[in-house]
Structure 1
Amino acid sequence: MTRLAIVRQKYNPAGGAERFVSRALDALAREGSLEVSLIARHWEQITGVHALKADPWYLGSLWRDAGFARAARTLWQREGFELVQSHERIPGCQIFRAGDGVHARWLDLRRRTMGWAGRLRLAINPYHHYVRNAERRMFLDPALRLVICNSRMVMHEIQQDFGLSDDKVAVIYNGVDTEAFHPRLRVLHREPMRERWQVPADAPVLLYVGSGFERKGVERALRAVVGQERVHLVVVGGDKHLNRYQTLASRLGIEARVRFTGPQHDVKPFYGMADAFILPTLYDPFPNVCVEALACGLPLLTTRQCGAAEFVREGENGWVVDALDQPALQQAVSSWLALRGQWSALSAAAREAAEPLTLDAMAETLLACYRRLLAAA
């Protein structure tokens, strides 16, 4: 039996990265070909998985990541695992899931939004130097056998920056529960949710879901509805600078058409109340919310720097613009409004794009990767 270690600082079975592997691991465990262990700092109980704790003391994000990396590597070397799949940037693992993309690419894009003082702080920040160095060492380590990318965008970035061959990379898109996230949510929730949030029944509604408002573009979403007199924007999620965005909405004169709901335990009713989904993110390898929105039949307005843009057919099920091209984003909203008579067709095309991205399909593709590595081992 082959022993596999999954490495993740904080393991939450409901998290996106964890859901990604859980089904394939269950299938392998049932086959009796794999014994799975978890190396983590904190975790929730996982049936059938043995957990090993790697929780050295730390002070600050750099020490936290570096200390965990050293402790995790020591554990997997001591235990003698045949396969180690890391979700953290740790040199020496055999499998790495690049769920956060390439750190250097994120930093390059972030610089575009900053003045000289911000760029200087970014340049001298030791944490970013640590992450970039760990990332490079990991991708160039001879132990690395496979990088799992959640979009072709991320795969191309890794190959361009680190020269990995085609046999060392695989694209496995995040799966979605296509039964739970379904256009029928519109029938169930459109009317009651609009009443609850005081949105007119016939108003065009754009939905945003996510935390990290700066990176994911809430300001750009707010500015995109200026001048679109009937469009309402619903922002689901939390941010420590929420007041700043509420003030901006007021300054732009759109506060009556914007709803900040805060974090929500269940976002499905919000998909049901909306007509389209907007995520003008600065950099996002493959956000689950985009796949959920498409599965619910919501056309997607996003950026070229978002991995989910690979599923958008311009003008058919969404629009894609550069992350910092504000006029283009406003034009995309206008184009969406101009096609109001064809929204049912846009909705059907959105749903069609998401239908292949089932959880079972994701698990089977991942399972095939594991089997290939196990056979080679």
Structure 2
Amino acid sequence: ASPQLRRLKEQGCAVHTIGAYSPFHMLSYYKQLMAVLRAGHYDIVHAYNITRSWLLFLAARKCKVPIRLFHARTSKTDGKLPIQATYRLFIRLGTGLSTHLLANSEESGQFFFKGKPFRVIKNAIDLDAFAVSPEHRARRRSELGLEDGFVLGHVGRFTEAKNHGFLVDIFKEVLARDDTARLLLVGDGPLFQPVVDKVKLEGIEGKVRFAGARNDVPEWYCAMDVFVFPSLYEGYGNAAVEAQAAGLPVVASAAVPRTVVLTDRVHFMPASSSLADWAERILDTKGARSPRGGQEAIDSKGFGMDEASDSLYAYYRAICRKENE
């Protein structure tokens, strides 16, 4: 079991595991959902997944679950037109079968729900986990041979949205100006190997570190000096919030929602920015990393786990009361 599942079980949560979703075994998946919902007598189902939420809502409606929450978490979808059309169909189905609409940002809500009313729910993070640790910083930088380098970092899945290829181009431009620069990439995904191949083709494999998918992501933020976030689109941009909690300056594309700005260390690059513009802005952040982190500022804006979970629980109770009136 994953650390997250173990933690949920330790906290007394009931965790039901069902078979993996497949378009070729949709009926089996639906029957498993029905079995869980019938046994649980639930008041609420809360779903995030674009392709499968509608099926959960269909089962929930059949089982007379009165409240069905559809939660938008992206402002665009990857893929060519036929795939985009399929996603749009799933979103319409999910919207039609749900009773309440939620989003992690205004951008996500507008993309999903096309003018229908929705409620924005803040993406909380565990601020304690992102506390700045000199020990973690020293250990991770030593492991990767980054002790004296100026480390550009990124955390995220290797997908079209995250724009890793452009990030490598930005890094090359920074490297031309500062030969101590290094690039640290944390994550995995479908475009991982193409990015590895691009790094080799550019002849900079000795300057780039691939950490892969990690369960200890907060420690890796400690190894960075600046977080670079050149996304083509973002539903919210949680990694930018995590980076600020870890005390890092953030240099982000204009596509990242402005709601991620929770400290004074976030810099946005206009869409027209050249590689040289990106490099200069990144190099300007040298020394801007805060040794104290940004937890206090982020917590004060309601993004701490305790306040956000209390807020979500209060919302659940309010809609249940309204349903029972």
CA shift, 1:224, in A, is 0.8
Whether 1:164 aligns to 2:135 is no
d(CA) in 2 for partners of 1:176, 1:331: 31
Residue number in structure 2 paired with 1:134:
90
d(CA) in 1 for partners of 2:285, 2:238: 26
Q: Which residue of the other structure, out of 72, 77, 98, is the alignment partner of 2:71?
A: 98
Residue number in structure 2 paired with 1:47:
12
Q: Which residue of the other structure, out of 261, 267, 277, is the alignment partner of 2:217?
A: 267
Q: Which residue of the other structure, out of 24, 33, 40, is the alignment partner of 1:63?
A: 24
d(CA) in 2 for partners of 1:369, 1:99: 17
TM-score, normalised to structure 2, is 0.77
CA shift, 1:376, in A, is 0.7
d(CA) in 2 for partners of 1:65, 1:237: 30
Residue number in structure 2 paired with 1:28:
none
Matched pairs, number: 305
d(CA) in 1 for partners of 2:321, 2:32: 29
Whether 1:211 aligns to 2:176 is no
Q: Note the 1:1-377 alignment, pairs <5 A.
A: 14=4, 47-49=12-14, 51=16, 55=19, 61-64=22-25, 68-69=29-30, 72=33, 76=37, 81-88=42-49, 89-90=53-54, 91-92=57-58, 94-101=67-74, 105-107=76-78, 110=79, 122-125=80-83, 129-141=85-97, 144-159=98-113, 161=114, 163-165=115-117, 169-182=118-131, 184-185=132-133, 187-201=134-148, 203-229=149-175, 230=178, 231-239=181-189, 241-307=191-257, 309-312=258-261, 316-321=264-269, 325=271, 327-328=273-274, 330-340=276-286, 343-344=288-289, 351=295, 353-355=297-299, 356=301, 357-377=303-323
Change (3 A) 1:49 1:64: same
d(CA) in 1 for partners of 2:31, 2:276: 47
Query: Which runs of 5 or more residues in structure 2 are unaligned?
Result: 61-66
Change (3 A) 1:156 1:179: same
d(CA) in 2 for partners of 1:65, 1:326: 45
CA shift, 1:156, in A, is 2.8
Task: Give CA-to-partner distance per residue, 1:111-133, whole Å, 9 cap, x none.
Answer: xxxxxxxxxxx3345xx544422
CA shift, 1:175, in A, is 1.4
Change (3 A) 1:338 1:241: closer
d(CA) in 2 for partners of 1:268, 1:370: 30
Identity of aligned residues (%): 20
TM-score, normalised to structure 1, is 0.67
| Structure 1 counterpart of 2:260, one-letter code | F
SS at match of 1:175: coil
CA shift, 1:338, in A, is 2.3
d(CA) in 2 for partners of 1:313, 1:280: 18
Which runs of 4 or more aligned residues in structure 1 lie more than 6 Å from their structure 2 counterparts after TM superposition?
Answer: none
CA shift, 1:78, in A, is 8.3
| Structure 2 counterpart of 1:164, one-letter code | K
d(CA) in 1 for partners of 2:14, 2:48: 17
d(CA) in 1 for partners of 2:15, 2:147: 52
Query: How well do the aligned residues superpose, as a CA RMSD in angstroms?
Result: 3.6
Task: Give CA-to-partner distance per residue, 1:34-69, whole Å, 9 cap, x none.
Answer: xxxxxxxxxx78734274x654x97xx433567535
| Structure 1 counterpart of 2:112, one-letter code | I
d(CA) in 2 for partners of 1:257, 1:312: 30
SS at match of 1:283: coil
Tell me if the contact between 2:91 and 2:112 (Cα under 8 Å) persists in the aligned partners. no
CA shift, 1:361, in A, is 1.2
d(CA) in 2 for partners of 1:248, 1:260: 13
CA shift, 1:291, in A, is 2.3
Tell me if the contact between 1:54 and 1:71 (Cα under 8 Å) persists in the aligned partners. yes
d(CA) in 2 for partners of 1:250, 1:217: 17
Change (3 A) 1:96 1:335: same
d(CA) in 2 for partners of 1:333, 1:251: 21
d(CA) in 1 for partners of 2:202, 2:108: 35
| Structure 2 counterpart of 1:233, one-letter code | L
